[in-house]
Amino acid sequence: MDMTSLPQPGAKKLGLVIDLDICVGCHACAVACKEWNTSAYGAPLSDQDPYGGQPEGTWLNRIHSYEVKPEGEPAQLVHFPRSCLHCEDAPCVTVCPTGASYKRGEDGIVLVDESMCMGCGLCAWACPYGAREMDMAEGVMKKCTLCVDRIYNENLPEEDREPACVRTCPAKARHFGDLGDPDSAVSRMVAERDGYDLMPDQATKPVNKYLPPRPKTGCDNGAAPDNLAQLATVEPSGLLGWVDKALAMLE
């Protein structure tokens, strides 16, 4: 058996498309992920010192926020969810010495067989995206399963057969689908919006794509006032205007 070698790439490449133009940074996806995955596939996602002074725990999805400063223009705030990208050339899989890490040929999902993981942590070192976190209670590596136990689960209503993060996102910034099918909704979205790979130079060929923030308009065309404080200065009229002028004479 040769599990930690990568499979022949299949036609089906399930993954996520994350719209950075829409994400509001509410962390609901991370919470929904933790909730589903702590009671689903594999060991629970443990917390250490959850009510103490130094709480931390295992999460499969982390939401960063960045300030992006264009030259000579106001800064933008971009919320940035970070999770496993289910790479086609997944370095986390090939480094695994035990056969615990594997990539499925049939749909491209990267998984960990936790009963085989010896907790060496090398896969987490091999991942440039920080997608893998060691569970400190169970001593095995945890990662996004693309909710493999939801997406094919016929016990769930059909609308729930998508990853918990996608299902819960209140802004619809997360989309799930087959990125191997050029006609799928997610593939069309990537084509229309110039979806891109994270750290392409790392040669991991991520399946997940990110949609860039749309260009900002209206800030640099002269229509917007330079000083917003001026807008907030209300010139009083009527009786108040007369009082205001009268008081001004006393100054």
Partner 1 sequence: MHPAVSLLLFTTLSGAGFGLIAWTGLGFGPTGTWFAWLDAFVAGLLVTAGLSASAMHLRRPDRAWRAFSQWRSSWLSREAVLAAATSAVFGAYALIWIFTGARLLPLGIIAALLSAITVYATSMIYTQLRTVPRWATPLTPAVFLAFAAAGGALVLSVLEGGRSSPIAAIALVALVLAWIVKVAWWQRAMKTTRASAGASPEQATGLGNIGAVSRFELPHTGSNYLLREMVFQVARRRARAVTRLAVLFGALVPAVLLLIFLSFAPSPALPVLALVSHFAGLLCERWLFFAEAEHAVGAYYGAR
Binders of partner 1 among residues 72 to 91 (CB under 8 A) are: 73, 75-78, 80, 82, 91
Only one of the segments 38-46, 149-157, 193-201, 226-234 lies at the binding site for partner 1 (rule: CB under 8 A); that segment is 193-201
User: Is residue 105 within the footprint of partner 1 (CB under 8 A)?
Assistant: no
Residue 36 interacts with partner 1 (CB under 8 A): yes or no:
no
# residues near partner 1 by CB under 8 A: 71
Q: Report DSSP state, residue 157.
A: -
205 binds partner 1 (CB under 8 A): no
First to last CA, the chain: 90
Q: Rounded CA gap, 37 and 54, in Å?
A: 23
CA distance 211 to 191: 10
Specify the DSSP class assigned to residue 144.
-
> Which member of 8, 39, 51, 71 binds partner 1 (CB under 8 A)?
71
Binder of partner 1 out of 55, 105, 182, 236 (CB under 8 A): 55
Give CA–CA dist 128/123, Å, rounded. Answer: 10
CA atoms of 173 and 171, how far apart (whole Å): 5
Query: Which listed residue (11, 35, 65, 188) binds partner 1 by CB under 8 A?
Result: 65
- Using the rule CB under 8 A, is 122 a contact of partner 1? yes
